[in-house]
């Protein structure tokens, strides 16, 4: 299994969400919740955030959590979207 590329300006999303979390956060979030994914909640559960961490360390924790979710992507629903990338459903 290859290691997912989590470099650059990225966000976690699902394969079927037609909205960009960068450009249309409210619509993206509503879609995510209505379809039962709760991607932000899942990401929060997987990551070990702490207000004691520096901004750089928080970024590393977030990227590590995204990488873990992508590697464990049993149902194949999660993907990374990059800033400026067109949403493909």
Alpha-carbon gap, residue 43 to 62, rounded angstroms: 8
Residue 89 lies in a domain: no
Residue 5 lies in a domain: no
State the pLDDT at residue 51.
Answer: 82
Residue 4 lies in a domain: no
C-beta of residue 78 within 8 angstroms of C-beta of residue 10:
no
Residue 19 lies in a domain: yes
Residue 22 lies in a domain: yes
Residue 25 lies in a domain: yes
Considering its fold, how many domains does the chain have in total? 1
State the pLDDT at residue 85.
Answer: 85
State the pLDDT at residue 86.
Answer: 84
- Range of the structural domain that residue 38 is part of: 10-82
46-57 pLDDT per residue, tens: 998 788 989 889
Helices (H), the chain: 25-34, 39-46, 55-71
Which residues in the chain come in under a pLDDT of 70? 1-7
Residue 72 lies in a domain: yes
């Amino acid at each position: 299994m290859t290691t997912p590329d989590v470099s650059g300006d990225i966000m976690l999303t699902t394969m079927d969400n037609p909205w960009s979390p960068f450009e249309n956060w409210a619509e993206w979030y509503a879609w995510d919740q209505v379809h039962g994914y709760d991607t932000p909640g899942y990401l929060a559960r997987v990551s070990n955030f702490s207000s004691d961490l520096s901004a750089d360390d928080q970024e590393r924790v977030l990227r590590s959590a995204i990488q873990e979710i992508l590697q464990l992507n049993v149902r194949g629903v999660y993907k990374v979207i990059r800033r400026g990338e067109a949403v493909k459903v």
